[in-house]
Structure 1
């Protein structure tokens, strides 16, 4: 499902302060796997997720997702790839606080020219799945942290993508809400999703639903 081949990622290439974020990463993730990328902040975990989602491009090497080489996709094609293939749960959720939960969730559907019935069908599916039907018309800024996270997860799943990426998904949650998120992961895994989580939260280490834990240290796989 996901292949990273000899990935090097540098920042500040045109300056004197070059930062080597990834140093020759080779990583294969099978369809349906739940993989945890573990490591300290700044180790390169988030950079790996951004490459898989075509949010950034490697300095060198290849990223292949579902058989397609996405490393060099122009921005418009990269956006189309993300819209159909990737659900991304950001660390700070990236929700628009002055919009309702419903409006945030359906944002990825805006460029797709779907009918109102099609949008409503997709919306109802994720609202029910993540148990936030009763919050759909509330402004996101008035929701609790756990409710905002469910809105973010619902948005990531609105197009029923094959791949779910989550960057430090429990960083802003207490233990109870973090455990609730793990229950959501179980459901997504049972649906056959390929899931990659970047985290340093020990709650994820040794979980039965996790197929592999991969340690990232200073841009390399340990």
Structure 2
């Protein structure tokens, strides 16, 4: 489903983020990208989402050459296929839970009834319905995380990309997040999660753990 073929990524100052990387993930797999900060994990996620272009090589998702798409087509691809969960949530703190979750749907011009159905569906799944009209900055860290997960899933994407999602959570909330990921995995979503949190390294529902070091693939699959 997702292929990175001979991927290299250099930034303007000639820093090498990825070095001739080859990876392949199948539909419905839960992949953990393991590595220290700066190893290239986040760059991989950004390439899969079409947020970055590789310096060389190809990125394919469902046989579509994401790395060759024009920017406006990349935006359309993300809206239809990708749910992104960020380390710092990337919510708008002065807006309500409702408005934050609905933001990804704004460009789709959906009917009000459809919007309401999608909103209440994900709020129920991720146990945040009781906070629908609360302002995000007034929520706890765990509640904000659930809002971010609901927002990432409001379009029912095939692929979930998560970048250090438990970095700001304590152990209890991290374990709750893991249970949410297990639920998403059971619904046949393809999940690629970048982390150095050891809680993810012994989970029975993770299909592969891939270590990234200095922009290269270093680990065996689980």
Length-normalised TM-score, structure 2: 0.97
Give 1:209 shift: 1.0
Ranges in structure 2 where 5+ consecutive residues have no aligned partner? none
Aligned to 2:87: 91
Which of 59, 68, 72 does residue 72 from structure 1 map onto? 68
> What's the secondary structure of 1:106's corresponding residue?
helix
Give 1:113 shift: 0.8
- Which whole-Å CA distance do the structure 2 matches of 1:56 and 1:111 have between them? 21
Give 1:91 shift: 1.0
Give 1:72 shift: 1.7
- 1:21-170 alignment runs, 5 A limit: 21-170=17-166
Aligned to 2:4: 4
- Which whole-Å CA distance do the structure 2 matches of 1:92 and 1:65 have between them? 26
- Which whole-Å CA distance do the structure 2 matches of 1:127 and 1:28 have between them? 32
- Which whole-Å CA distance do the structure 2 matches of 1:35 and 1:124 have between them? 28
- Which whole-Å CA distance do the structure 2 matches of 1:136 and 1:36 have between them? 31
Aligned to 1:220: 216
> Runs in 1 of length 4+ with deviation above 4 angstroms?
none
Ranges in structure 1 where 5+ consecutive residues have no aligned partner? none
Give 1:75 shift: 1.0
- Which whole-Å CA distance do the structure 2 matches of 1:89 and 1:81 have between them? 17
Give 1:18 shift: 0.9
> Cα RMSD over matched residues?
0.5
Length-normalised TM-score, structure 1: 0.97
> What's the secondary structure of 2:67's corresponding residue?
coil
> What's the secondary structure of 1:122's corresponding residue?
helix
1:176 equivalenced with 2:172 (yes/no):
yes
